[in-house]
Structure formats: C-alpha cells, structure tokens
Amino acid sequence: MEDNDKIKGQLISELEKLRHIIDEYEKSRPDFKKIEKALEDSKEKYETLIKAAPFSVITLNEKGIIISCNSNALKFLGKSKEEIIGKHFTKHKFLSEEIIPKYIKIFSHDSNNKEDMPFEITRLDKNGKAFFGKVYCGPVKKGGAIKSIQIFITDITKRKEIEKKLKYLRFHDNLTGLYNRSYFEEEMKRLDSERQLPLSLIIGDVNGLKLINDTFGNEEGDRILKSIAAVMRECCREEDIIARWGEDEFSMLLPKTSKEYSRNVVNRIKEICQRTDKKKTKFNFSIGTSTKENADQNLQGVIKEAKDEMYKKKLYESKNVPDSIISTVVDSLMETSFETKEHGKRVRKWALKMGRALKLSKSKLDELSLLADLHDLGKIAIPDDIVKKKDKLNEKDWKVLKSYPEIGYNIANSSYKTSHIAEYILTHHERWDGAGYPQGLKGEDIPLASRITAIADAYDVMRSGRFYKRTLSKKEATEELRKSSGVQFDPKLIEKFIRILEEE
C-alpha cells in the first residue's frame, strides 16, 4: 500500500513537471494564427503597393505564364487583363524576337550575372506612336530553383524623346534643319576614303544677308536662309550631306560624284533660286564647287578650291545686290497706302522748283530728284502697326520710328548708285533749331538738300493728307510753314518756297 502511494506521488510529481514543460512550450511556441494574419496583412500591403506602383509590374510563373500584372502594365502593353493573364510572355508583341532569348535565359539557370540586365523594349500604340520601356527582372526562388519571375517596366518614352531632341540639336542647325558644321566636318573625315571617290564638294554663300537683315529685319533673312536650304534639299540625293556651314554659308558633300555631275547640281540650285518665290527681296546665292578625284589629293585643298571659286563669283554677283534690294524697297513702298509714286513725284516737283530758284547745278538737281524718291527709304523696316497708328505714339513707338532715317542711310550707302545721297536721307528729319533726329544737327550744319526736301515733303503731306491727319488748304499749309520758319525749317528757304507757291 505504501509502495502504491509512493509511486502515485512520483507520477503526480512527474505530471506536474510535464504540465510545467507544456505550459512553457505553449508560451514559447509560435502563434500560427497571428503569423497567418501577419502574412495576409503583408500580402495585402504588397498587392496595394504593386497596384499603386508608378511603373509596370508583371509576374510570371516558372513556366513563363503571366499570372498577374498591375494597371500600369496593362496601359503600357495596351491590353486588357483577360488578354494578358494566362498567356505565355513570349506571345506578346511588346517583346522583339532578339530580346526573347534573353528572357528565356533567366529560367534556364540561376543567373546572378547582371550583364544582360536591364533590357529596353519598344512597342507601338494603335496610332503608330512608339513607347519605350526599361525592363528589370527579379527571380523568386524556392529550394534553389526559380519558381517565378517579377518583371518591372519603367516608361522611358519621355527620356527617349529628350535624348532624340538633344541628339538632333547636337548635329543639326536649328533654323534650317540641315546638318551643322560639326557634323559636316565629321562626315568629311568619314567619307574621305578611296572607295567614295570621286568626292565632290559644293560651297555657297548668300550675298547681302546683313543688308537684308538690316533692311527687312531678321525674319526676312531667316526666310531666305530656309528657302535656300529647301532648294539644296531638292537638288541632292539621299546619300548627300548638306549643312549650314556658317551664318550665310552652306555646304554639300557628294560621295561618288563626278565633277561634271556636281556642276549640273550647281546649275540646278542657281536656276531654282532664281525662280523661287521672293516674298520681299531678291537674293543672290554665289556657289563654288571642286572634286577630289584621286586618293593623293588633300581634301583641305579641295575645300579651298571650292571656296576660291565661290568668292570669285561673289565678287562679281554681289555688286548688283544693293541695287536689287533698293529696287525691291522702293517697289514695296509704292505698294503701301502711305507712300506712293505720286507723293514722290510731288516732292520732286517742289524740291526741283526750289533747287532751280536757288540756281543749283544740274548734278545737285539730280541729287534732289533722287532724294525725293528715296527720302523715306528706311520706312520699309518700320512695322505697319506703328506707321499706320492713329493714336498718339508712345515713347517706344517714337524710338522705333525715329530709327528709319538711319536704316535708309545704311541701305542707300550700300550701293554706289545711291551712296552720294545717303547723308541727305539720314538728315532730312533734322530741325533748324537742333531738336530733330537722329543727330540733333542745327542750322546750316544740316545739308542743303535735306533742308529743301524736308520743306517739300512737309508741304505735300499737309496738302495731300494722311489717314491720321486732315488735308489742309493751300492757305492753311502756307501758314503752318510760316509758323515753323526758324524752328523746324530754314527761314530763308521757307521764304523762297512761299514765294514759289504765290507765283503758282
């Protein structure tokens, strides 16, 4: 009996120990429910992050089947979820044939080599516009084997567009769209080989571009440069290289082209330039050409030969450019509502009457006659909204308007046929009291021809009227001249002019 009680006590003692061990184990063992809940929470957070990711995410199983993707992936691929899920990744056109083997390689071995990663892919949308993506892949392993692949695609379309623009700007002239000098020089080095012979070079220069810019503004000069670029494109072949060599120079490189053929190209360029629509002014394009026919020739020598020929032609052809521009300016002025042939005739009539009354020589009378026609030459460069403005001109408008005598001076001074009256054009808005423009000359410091023309011009404006000023009678105009005598106009010349008017 005592033995049984002893054994029972031992069993109870051992049981208590076991319970204690169990209690300790229960306290220390993992809470699988908590773990399961944490995993669910983590999965939900992961899926939320994937959905909200600003890049495309695609998951493939171990067989390469797409098992999930986010909305950005659908947008990038241009597909619906039904079209994507359950399909093998190689079935989608967004992967080019040369890239597919790189993807398949990921499944074939445990690749820690990043050499082939990432990849760039391209796809076209329904409008044919290219989308570019950069692809990163991450294998998910289990027991050392790859069980799935995570594919991340970032949209790099904008970056590609910027790179394309930067590359274009690096090698192209911004105004004409032709290649620039840097690119042209690189191409000359590349094409300077025996297999490209004969290698022909054409160099052209726009005559009088600065004068055109000064006269009509940079917009007209730019228009002419773009017109010439278009002509050169029309005359070249696909393999020819055309560039804007300098501000007013163009170059054309013609591989495998004979001297005779390059001469034909030059003639065609000249012919098209001559019949090209000329919006405001005529332009002249001097061209020279040379050909490297054997490997012993130095290309720099060929360039010099083409330039020398171009400069020789320029010396001859540029002589008539100022006269052509002046002719165009006068024609343009005559077409406007504020300057007509009749106005020039009337100013000439009164100026010559005064000149004869002053007993000027025939050469001086000829100058007066030409000055009457060209005294407002510079107005061609003044915007119409200032010249035709009915309201009072502001300070900025006046500054622009007062620049036209200087513009007229520059135009007239560029031609030997009109340079002798350039100073008179510059000073015909000076005043007797020194308050005129542009130099503020006073009294007899103002050339006589300018003083005479100023009176004749003012009288005709008062008598014929303008859109901003009413027409005055002969008596009213005469009184206005008297008021301006000794202030705006030479008093002796006013007295002489009024006497001529009374005799009329």
CATH no. for residue 349? 1.10.3210.10
At 125, the pLDDT band (50, 70, 90 cuts) reads: low
317-334: per-residue pLDDT in tens? 766 666 666 666 666 665
253-287: per-residue pLDDT in tens? 999 999 999 999 999 998 888 776 555 556 778 99
Which residue, 410, 423, 318, is CA-closest to 370?
423
* 1 assigned to some structural domain: no
* 329 assigned to some structural domain: no
Q: Identify whether residues 257 and 200 lie together within a single domain.
A: yes
Q: Identify whether residues 195 and 155 lie together within a single domain.
A: no
Q: Identify whether residues 411 and 481 lie together within a single domain.
A: yes
Which pair of structure tokens corresponds to residue 6? 């002893």
| Residues sharing a CB contact under 8 Å with residue 108, sequence separation 6 or more, in sequence order | none
Q: Identify whether residues 304 and 370 lie together within a single domain.
A: no
Q: Identify whether residues 98 and 123 lie together within a single domain.
A: yes
CB neighbour class for 325 (10 Å; exposed up to 12, middle 13-18, buried from 19) = buried
CATH number at residue 135: 3.30.450.20
Q: Is the pLDDT of residue 52 over 80?
A: no
Span 74-84, mean pLDDT?
Answer: 80
Assessment of whether the complete model's pTM goes beyond 0.75: no
372-429: per-residue pLDDT in tens? 888 888 877 776 666 666 667 677 877 877 888 888 888 888 777 788 899 999 999 9
At 298, the pLDDT band (50, 70, 90 cuts) reads: very high
Q: Identify whether residues 202 and 314 lie together within a single domain.
A: yes
Domains held by the chain: number: 3
Instruction: Give the separation between CA 271 and CA 248, rounded to whole angstroms.
Output: 19
Question: What is the pLDDT, as a whole number, of residue 205?
Answer: 92
**Is 375 in a helix, a strand, or coil?**
coil
* 27 assigned to some structural domain: no
203-241: per-residue pLDDT in tens? 999 888 887 787 777 888 898 899 999 999 999 999 999
* 196 assigned to some structural domain: yes
CATH number at residue 187: 3.30.70.270
Q: Identify whether residues 262 and 388 lie together within a single domain.
A: no
Average pLDDT, the chain: 80
How would you label 79-114 residue by residue, b for 16+ Cβ within 10 Å and e otherwise?
beeeebeeeebeebebbeeebeeebeebeeeeeeee
* 254 assigned to some structural domain: yes
Question: What is the pLDDT, as a whole number, of residue 31?
Answer: 52
Q: Identify whether residues 398 and 492 lie together within a single domain.
A: yes
* 302 assigned to some structural domain: yes
* 258 assigned to some structural domain: yes
* 6 assigned to some structural domain: no
Instruction: Give the separation between CA 351 and CA 309, rounded to whole angstroms.
Output: 47
Q: Identify whether residues 466 and 404 lie together within a single domain.
A: yes
Q: Bigger pLDDT: 21 or 55?
A: 55
Residue 376 Cα to chain centre, angstroms: 33
Residue where a domain terminates, one of 159, 194, 220: 159
Asked if residue 322 lies in contact with residue 410, where contact means CB atoms within 8 angstroms, the answer is no
Q: Identify whether residues 346 and 482 lie together within a single domain.
A: yes
Q: Identify whether residues 459 and 381 lie together within a single domain.
A: yes
Q: Bigger pLDDT: 390 or 29?
A: 390
Q: Identify whether residues 115 and 210 lie together within a single domain.
A: no
Range of the domain at 198: 172-320
Residue where a domain terminates, one of 263, 292, 320: 320
Q: Which residues pair with 65 in a beta bridge?
A: 88
